[in-house]
Amino acid sequence: MSRSDSFPQEQPVRHEAVKSLVALYAKDDYIVTLRNFTERFKGRLLEMATSDIDFHIRVASIQVLSTIDSHSLLDDDQRDRLCLLVFDVDQRVRKAISVFVRGIWNEDVESRMAGHKETEKTQARAGVKALAVLLTSWARAVPKAGAGVSGRAEDSADAEDDSESSDKQTTAKKLALLVQPLQKGRLAYAVDALYEEISAISDWETLLELLLLDHSAEGEAGASTTPSRRKKNAAPAEDTVDPAWRLDEAEESCVLEVFVASLRKTIADSKKVRLVSSVCVNRS
């Protein structure tokens, strides 16, 4: 039994203590003074953010760690562990971490755009690639990190898909699995949390455009060895796939699932809007 389980009456006190750190770290003048404290306790804060029994303490810990990271005081491993919360079973926790994840995504996009002419098209493609790389990497790390992630059968299926990426399933078969009613894997949880924060998720045109390009190295040279969909939809010479947004097989699967999950969410939201509008009209 954890300490927080044993003493539930301490939860409000702990919550207020963590909240006070948010205001403290927000003041730049205190950062140097707090450096030793930060090094000593950021591990504990990370533990509370990922596994505390109290939702309010988890969210407050996420806020503190986000502020600490804004001063470049978290290492890459700690940032990655924090980002795994985008797959958490608690929707409120996923929402709380979404702004932090957006910051990580923005950094990756900027890195990919280095040396490239910034146009709306190249920015959008780099955004999808960055999203695919991050989500694929985090999804693979979830079983090892033991973050608060769903233990549902769908999640087990996702892990199995990762380990069997060498098995070349067709796109049609993958899509058929994805659109099964009531299925919601870990990427769908992430899409739900990040939909309002990361523009690449709702950009259907770019998601689909990238899926239809030939991402094989041979295809870029104009000699694809894949005789199926990729050859038929190979990009013209002036639109070859730049390494900055070329997808590997696992990333393509990720983008496909993001596309389907985003489409589902948009349709569901549209139905809610129509229902509310209908109720308002009837009442008037």
Distance from first CA to last CA of the chain, Å, rounded?
55
Note whether residue 47 is domain-resident. Answer: no
Does a structural domain hold residue 250?
Answer: yes
Please give the residue that has the higher pLDDT: either 61 or 183.
Answer: 61
Q: How many domains does the chain have?
A: 1
Residue 75 is assigned to a structural domain of this protein: no
What phi-psi label fits residue 235: left (phi over 0), alpha (psi between -120 and 50 degrees) or beta?
beta
Given a cut of 60, whether residue 52 has pLDDT beyond it is yes
Residue with tokens 């992630």: 149
Position 194 pLDDT exceeds 60: yes
Of residues 240 and 281, which shows the higher confidence score?
240
Q: Tell me the per-residue pLDDT of 82-129, one tens digit each, with 9 for 90 and over.
A: 999 999 999 999 999 999 999 999 999 999 998 888 899 999 999 999
126: domain range? Answer: 120-283
- Whether 101 is in a domain gets the answer no
In a domain, 13, yes or no: no
On whether the CB atoms of residues 138 and 84 are closer than 8 A, the answer is yes
Residue 80 lies in a domain: no
266 belongs to a structural domain: yes
Task: Report if residue 215 sits inside a domain.
Answer: yes
